[in-house]
Amino acid sequence: MDSSSTNEVAHDFPPYFKVYKDGRIERYTAVVTVDACHDPSTGVQSKDVMISSETVSKANIIAISIEYRLAPEHPLPIAYEDSWAGLEWVATHSNGLGSDLWLNDHADFGRVFLGGESAGANIAHFVAVRAGSTIMGLAGLKIEGLVMVHPFF
């Protein structure tokens, strides 16, 4: 295969991504991430925890962000499953015996809110519905609400 055919675009989906004929994906915008840190001036502490190989102190919250796998490289329903696995992982801490000691000591599992924006709101909705229909519940985790910002269904 010559190098010119590897750069031939099969599908273009601006402003999101393009797919090359050889199967490669090129995203037009990068995923923005924030490094884990502790800011002594605000008291905000964040950390990264890998739960599968595949915070604001004034608001008195702990925010957990799920970095789910993205389509088209990973077709649906993988984003839903990754997000559900993240919530299940959080629930394993509700008895104070989870793998993350900091979360065991600081989170209030009786006041959990799910949220997302755009496609993330769709995923948060799915996770909330699944949690509500799960017979056994989520081991002491109580979902108080759902925040959907510009949901994309």
Q: What are 98-120's pLDDT values in tens digits?
A: 988 889 998 999 999 999 999 99
The domain of 44 spans: 35-149
Q: What are 120-146's pLDDT values in tens digits?
A: 999 999 999 999 988 777 878 999 999
> What is the tally of structural domains in the chain?
2
pTM for the full predicted model: 0.70
Q: 86 in the Ramachandran plot: left (φ > 0), alpha (ψ -120 to 50) or beta?
A: alpha
Per-residue model confidence (pLDDT) at position 34: 67
Q: What residues have CB less than 8 Å from 25, skipping those under 6 apart?
A: 17, 18, 19, 72, 73
Same structural domain for residues 2 and 76? no
116 by Cβ neighbours in 10 Å (0-12 / 13-18 / 19+) ranks as buried
Same structural domain for residues 13 and 83? no
Same structural domain for residues 26 and 39? no
**Nearest-CA neighbor of 124 among 73, 90, 87, 88?**
87
